[in-house]
Amino acid sequence: MEVVAKAPGKIILSGEHAVVHGTTAVASSINLRTSVHLRFSSDGDDILKLELKDMGLEFSWPIGKIKSALPGFDSPDPSTPRACSAESLRCIACLIDEQTIPEAKVALCSGVSAFLWLYTTIHGYKPATVTVTSELPLGSGLGSSAAFCVALAGALHALSPHSGLDYNHHGWSTFGENELELVNKWAFEGEKIIHGKPSGLDNTVSTYGNMIKFRSGELTRLKSNLPLKMLITNTRVGRNTKALVAGVSERKLRHPEAMASVFSAVDSISKELSSIIQIPATDDVAVTEKEEKLQELMEMNQGLLQCMGVSHASIETVLRTTLKYKLPSKLTGAGGGGCVLTLLPTLLSNVLVDKVVAELESYGFQCFIAAIGGNGLEVCFDGSA
């Protein structure tokens, strides 16, 4: 038995940082995905194997070793997502320590831990080979870890007895609402192993796709009626999200009145943005009008993020570059480096896009062009993926 599951990354369209202080934010899926291929072994090979193709890494564990490190999953319960205890995490760490991991890639260990936990709690000690490939850059705020957890949980669920999908179906299919909810919960358990205290936003966007409005921990799914294309520029500048979030809070303490107004402005922007993307555009003119409004809202949001102090020289370079072509941009996620969004209007010429991308790449940045608001988790049984 085998399956491929793919799940998208995400971007924050508006409201990052301010959302920590109680305002609205809007996130969207992007059509850059992580794929997980799961194949149960039929040849009596008593091994669980994990291949991270993009990293050139391969791990394998004799099933017996897993069984003694993580006992109690002879009859796993795939219908009940379980948090990984500190004790289990320590046992998993021992399993990983036995593998050879190059120093530079040790950060991936938490992802491997999440894999071992999800696999074992859903499928127990079944021998299998799991292969992961991804279009998403790691650790750049595009939700690569959530896409991995969702695709993994999706693949694991697809081959569990609780899957409602027809194994003989051809091509890509999607789970029903209840199963998506279950997969999302499993993925969240994986995210907790990787991130400690994730908001749940990344895995929810990756599971359901499209767009999501969130405020004070409450997530509302939005149906976007506007096909939007974004240039995503990865500055490749690593950043410390916790320090950036703390910096905004400190600035709020120093200038409470001004910052309260700034957050309130962001809230208005997120609300306006989410209403624009939900109203269908009737023709090209309407699309262009909406795109211009979104560009303006993004530009405004970027100014407010700069006001919060989370910009960075590399981000400013991207802004200045795209501005030369009259394309406003905004950082997405934590800031201080990371990724920058530039809306590419439908009627924008490809020649111009190529020029912008070439100039950005000349600075050493990495560019992606992504459609936003697309499908969430999808699975395929027949190898047509």
149 to each of 139, 267, 289, how far by Cα in Å? 14, 30, 37
Of 97, 155, 87, residue with least CA distance to 126: 155
Q: Which stretch binds its own copies (CB under 8 A): 33-41, 137-145, 265-273, 278-286?
A: 265-273
**Nearer residue to its own copies within complex by CB, 206 or 301:** 301
Helices and strands, number each (H, E), in the chain? 11, 13
Cβ atoms of residues 140 and 338 within 8 Å: yes
Query: What is the C-alpha separation between 372 and 279, in angstroms, rounded?
Result: 16
Longest CA–CA span in the chain (Å) reads 67
Which tokens belong to 367? 């560019």
Smaller CB separation from its own copies, 184 or 302: 302
What single-letter DSSP state applies at residue 157?
Answer: H
Which of 261, 354, 361, 364 touches its own copies by CB under 8 A? 261
In the complex, the smallest distance separating the C-beta of residue 311 from its own copies, rounded to whole angstroms, is: 8
Residue 334 near its own copies by CB under 8 A: no
Smallest separation, CB 220 to its own copies (Å): 19
Distance (Å, rounded) from C-alpha 261 to C-alpha 245? 18
Q: Which of 205, 313, 202, 308 is nearest to 249 (CA)?
A: 308
Nearer to its own copies, 159 or 248 (CB): 248
Q: Is 180 in the site for its own copies (CB under 8 A)?
A: no
Report the alpha-carbon distance of residue 33 to residue 156 in Å, rounded: 17
228 binding its own copies? (CB under 8 A): no
According to the binding rule CB under 8 A, does residue 359 interact with its own copies? Answer: no
User: Between vectors from CA 375 to CA 212 and to CA 292, what angle results, nearest 5°?
Assistant: 60
Q: Is 215 in the site for its own copies (CB under 8 A)?
A: no
- The reply to whether 265 sits near its own copies by the rule CB under 8 A is yes
Give per-residue burial for 319-336: e unless 16+ CB within 10 Å, then b: bebbeeeebbbbbbbbbb
Shortest distance, CB of residue 242 to its own copies, whole angstroms?
20
Which window, 88-96, 99-107, 198-206, 291-299, contacts its own copies (CB under 8 A)? 291-299
Say whether residue 269 binds its own copies (CB under 8 A): yes
Q: How far apart are CA 244 and CA 336, in angstroms?
A: 7
CA distance 354 to 121: 47
Instruction: Count the site residues for its own copies by CB under 8 A.
Output: 35
CA distance 1 to 7: 20
355 binds its own copies (CB under 8 A): no
Q: Enumerate residues 6+ apart whose C-beta is below 8 A from 185.
A: 81
Active-site choice (46, 54, 202, 283): 202
Q: Which amino acid is at 82?
A: R
Binding mask 292-331 for its own copies (x = CB under 8 A): -x--xx-xxxxxxxxxxx-x-x--xx-xx--xx-------
Cβ proximity to its own copies: between 315 and 339 the closer is 315
- By CB under 8 A, tell whether 254 contacts its own copies: yes
**Binding status of residue 257 toward its own copies by CB under 8 A:** yes
Query: Interface with its own copies includes 173 (CB under 8 A)?
Result: no
**Closest distance of CB 331 from its own copies, Å:** 12
Catalytic residue flag (residue 97):
no
Enzyme catalytic residues: 202
Positions that interact with its own copies (CB under 8 A): 251, 254-255, 257-259, 261-262, 264-265, 268-269, 272, 293, 296-297, 299-309, 311, 313, 316-317, 319-320, 323-324
